[in-house]
């Protein structure tokens, strides 16, 4: 086995192009930081203290807060995960009820576990396997139905860039006496330029968490937690929030990571007015070039971050997202951010180069051509095509991931996540799990959204979907190689 450092050096020297995070894309023209070892320190005299900032760090955080129009901003060195844990636990007490979008990241579920919270889920509509917006009407209905809810948590944008109506949802949360926490992990670049969505911080959310490392040129693990400016800011107990931040963050924060956040925001402030329009221009050229592909489509969603490119192989080509992901990596050395049954996701940022976009467009054109040739070679009769189409329609009805969310709605929580995870668990074949209570999360990573959470009962439909995803070659976490799952 190679040594980690050697593998990293080799990767850095390779021709693999990153359509994945971190948002700096290893682009040294954009990331202007000197020699890391000469600057790697933690808290020493003159360098302030992240857990009680008063000097140089406070100043850097105030600058960030000013840029996003927040009331206060905290630097995070343990990713958005640490911010989400802190935010949820700061807004709730042990055993409280909480309204939470089902497509939240696993860190939000970890907060449910730690707080032994009782979740009521908001289910986004799904289209072609993508979670769409959270509907404000659903938020209001749930808040009416569950008057004991203490906080609302949603993810916006989603992994694929879909943005919800934060302004309306924030107003509703406040009307029913709760704060709104927005996981904006994929939106640290929002609100700086025309053509990109506004940040939740300016739309009335109370706590907003952003991974700087995902979409801006900053080191992995770097993130921000903002307290929104509210007229009456009674929703957030600042002291409690700070307590959780110091529980979930290291006591030896890396000053390189924090300086990286500052540098990245400085770049946005000074050069964002050129860099963001340039990114949009590159995306525009890419879209123009790929819009007539026959077997691949890259839809533009109505309320979404334009920097996310979601690429679907046509169902009738007989190919899926996993196939496209492997093809792009193995043949073209283009590393995507994620794959699902239906699509692959390319993440772009201001650090992407014109050459990177050209390589992706060229690869997709070639793949499209290959699919065309394959189709011609098959010399199918019209009759056979018709049958195929009918087959596909049937498949769509019985097993597309579109069904996944619909079925997930029907999952019943029998005990809390805490009770399930702390129970004695046993292993059981997936195919025999119907009616049993899950003792674990089962999810595809990325994106890490649980298909079943501990405490919920397996249904026949969920088992069918999990088996199908495994057969398609996707990595389903929580189901072992031998198709076993944990139940209580």
Residues that bind ligand PLP (CB under 6 A): 79-81, 105, 107, 155, 159, 183, 185-186, 211, 223, 447
Q: Which residue is nearest to ligand PLP (CB)?
A: 79
Q: Which is nearer to ligand PLP, 211 or 290 (CB)?
A: 211
| Smallest distance, ligand PLP to C-beta of residue 420, A | 22
Q: Which is nearer to ligand PLP, 109 or 276 (CB)?
A: 109
Q: Which is nearer to ligand PLP, 86 or 211 (CB)?
A: 211
Instruction: Please provide the DSSP assignment of 245-288 as one string.
Output: HHHHS-SS--HHHHHHHHHHHHHHHHHHHHHHHHHHHHHHHHHH
Q: How far is CA 160 from the centre of its chain?
A: 7
| Smallest distance, ligand PLP to C-beta of residue 225, A | 11
340 and 393 in contact (C-beta within 8 Å)?
A: no
- For helices 255-290 and 56-68, the axis angle rounded to 10 degrees is 30
| Smallest distance, ligand PLP to C-beta of residue 458, A | 25
Q: Which is nearer to ligand PLP, 138 or 183 (CB)?
A: 183
**Peptide bond before residue 447 is cis, with ω within 30 degrees of 0:** yes
Give phi and psi for 285, each to the nearest 5: -65, -45
Q: Which is nearer to ligand PLP, 110 or 174 (CB)?
A: 110
Q: Which is nearer to ligand PLP, 22 or 455 (CB)?
A: 22
What distances in angstroms separate CA 94 from CA 117, 236, 414, 438, 440, one per listed residue?
Answer: 6, 16, 18, 22, 21
Q: Which is nearer to ligand PLP, 228 or 447 (CB)?
A: 447
Give phi and psi for 410, each to the nearest 5: -85, -5
| Smallest distance, ligand PLP to C-beta of residue 188, A | 10
Separation of first and last alpha carbons in the chain: 37
| Smallest distance, ligand PLP to C-beta of residue 157, A | 8
Dist. CA 467–CA 461, nearest whole Å = 10
473 in the Ramachandran plot: left (φ > 0), alpha (ψ -120 to 50) or beta?
A: left
Both tokens of 273, joined, read 């007015």
| Smallest distance, ligand PLP to C-beta of residue 200, A | 13
Q: Which is nearer to ligand PLP, 80 or 86 (CB)?
A: 80
| Smallest distance, ligand PLP to C-beta of residue 76, A | 8
Q: Which is nearer to ligand PLP, 182 or 430 (CB)?
A: 182
Q: b/e for 416-454, b at 16 or more Cβ within 10 A?
A: bbbbbbebebeebebeebeebbbbbbbbbebbbbbbbbb
| Smallest distance, ligand PLP to C-beta of residue 185, A | 3
Instruction: Provide CB contacts within 8 A for 185, sequence distance 6+.
Output: 80, 84, 105, 155, 209, 210, 211, 214, 223
Any idea how long the chain is?
488
| Smallest distance, ligand PLP to C-beta of residue 119, A | 16
361 in the Ramachandran plot: left (φ > 0), alpha (ψ -120 to 50) or beta?
A: alpha
What distances in angstroms separate CA 176 from CA 118, 148, 206, one per listed residue?
Answer: 18, 10, 14
- For helices 166-175 and 136-145, the axis angle rounded to 10 degrees is 10
Q: Which is nearer to ligand PLP, 211 or 317 (CB)?
A: 211
| Smallest distance, ligand PLP to C-beta of residue 79, A | 2
| Smallest distance, ligand PLP to C-beta of residue 375, A | 36
Q: Which is nearer to ligand PLP, 209 or 296 (CB)?
A: 209
Q: Which is nearer to ligand PLP, 61 or 185 (CB)?
A: 185
Give phi and psi for 439, each to the nearest 5: -110, 10
| Smallest distance, ligand PLP to C-beta of residue 133, A | 14
Neighbours of 277 (CB within 10 A): 14
Consecutive H or E run containing 358:
helix 354-378
Dist. CA 469–CA 191, nearest whole Å = 36
Consecutive H or E run containing 362:
helix 354-378
């Amino acid at each position: 086995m190679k040594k980690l450092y050697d593998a990293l050096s080799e990767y850095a020297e390779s021709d693999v192009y990153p359509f994945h995070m971190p948002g700096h894309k290893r682009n040294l023209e954009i990331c202007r930081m000197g020699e890391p070892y000469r600057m790697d320190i933690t808290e020493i005299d003159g360098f302030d203290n992240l857990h009680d900032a008063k000097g140089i760090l406070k100043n850097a955080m105030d600058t960030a807060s000013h840029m996003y129009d927040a009331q206060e901003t905290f630097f995070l060195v343990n990713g958005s995960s640490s911010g989400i844990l802190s935010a949820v636990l700061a807004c709730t007490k042990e055993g409280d009820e909480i309204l939470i979008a089902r497509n939240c990241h696993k860190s939000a579920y970890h907060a449910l576990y730690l707080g032994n919270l009782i979740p009521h889920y908001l289910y986004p509509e799904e289209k072609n396997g993508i979670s769409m917006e959270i509907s404000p009407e659903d938020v209001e209905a749930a808040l009416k139905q569950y008057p004991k809810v203490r906080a609302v948590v949603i993810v916006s944008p989603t992994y694929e860039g879909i943005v919800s109506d934060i302004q309306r949802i924030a107003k509703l949360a406040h009307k029913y006496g709760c704060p709104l926490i927005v996981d904006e992990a994929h939106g640290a670049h929002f609100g700086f330029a025309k053509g990109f969505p506004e940040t939740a911080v300016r739309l009335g959310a109370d706590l907003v968490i952003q991974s700087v490392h995902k979409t801006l040129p900053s080191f992995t693990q770097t993130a921000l937690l903002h307290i929104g400016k509210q007229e009456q800011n009674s929703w957030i107990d600042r002291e409690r929030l700070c307590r959780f931040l110091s529980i979930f963050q290291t006591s030896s924060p890396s000053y390189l990571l924090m300086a990286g956040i500052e540098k990245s925001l400085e770049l946005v402030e000074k050069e964002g007015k050129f860099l963001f329009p340039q990114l949009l221009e590159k995306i525009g050229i890419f879209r123009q070039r790929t819009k007539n592909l026959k077997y691949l489509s890259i839809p533009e969603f109505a309320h979404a971050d334009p920097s996310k490119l979601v690429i679907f192989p046509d169902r009738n080509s007989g190919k899926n997202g996993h196939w496209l992901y492997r093809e792009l990596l193995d043949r073209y050395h283009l590393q995507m951010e994620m794959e699902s049954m239906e699509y692959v996701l390319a993440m772009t940022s201001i650090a992407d180069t014109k050459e990177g976009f050209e390589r992706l467009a060229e690869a997709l054109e070639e793949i499209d051509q290959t699919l065309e040739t394959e189709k011609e070679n098959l010399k199918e009769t019209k009759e056979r095509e018709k049958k195929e189409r009918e087959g596909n329609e049937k498949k769509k009805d019985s097993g597309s991931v579109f069904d996944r969310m619909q079925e997930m709605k029907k999952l019943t929580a029998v005990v809390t996540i805490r009770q399930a995870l702390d129970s004695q668990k046993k292993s059981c074949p997936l195919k025999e799990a119907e009616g049993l209570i899950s003792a674990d999360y089962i999810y595809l990573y990325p994106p890490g959204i649980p298909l079943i959470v501990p405490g919920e009962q397996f249904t026949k439909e969920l088992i069918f979907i999990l088996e199908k995803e495994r057969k398609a070659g996707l990595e389903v976490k929580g189901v072992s190689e031998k198709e076993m799952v944990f139940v209580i």
